[in-house]
Amino acid sequence: MRTRLRGALRTMRTALDEGDAAQLKNALRDTVSLVDKMAAKKVIHRNAAGRYKSRLAARVSKKSAAA
């Protein structure tokens, strides 16, 4: 399960580097959903889940503002 999370975060970083808006939006939605599921199943702590989501959203927002 933790492997799926790492893969999703890796996909998210790749989407941020490429800068494709559609791919970025899909990757963010999928990653946030997976982070929430992992927190609900106690695989990661809920504060860690919030931290992941906050940092991802900030990077997406910064990338969108720059484009």
Answer whether 0.75 is exceeded by the pTM. Answer: yes
Q: Checking phi first, is residue 44 left (phi over 0); if not, alpha (psi -120 to 50) or beta?
A: beta
User: Per-residue pLDDT tens for 16-43?
Assistant: 998 888 888 889 999 999 999 999 999 9
Domain span including residue 38: 2-66
49: confidence class by pLDDT, cuts 50, 70, 90: very high
What CATH number is associated with residue 58?
1.20.58.110
The set of residues, in sequence order, having a beta carbon less than 8 Å from that of 34 and lying 6+ positions away, is 4, 5, 8
Q: How many domains are there within the chain?
A: 1
Those residues with Cβ within 8 angstroms of residue 18's Cβ, 6 or more apart along the chain or in another chain: 24
- Give the pLDDT confidence score for residue 54 in this predicted structure: 97
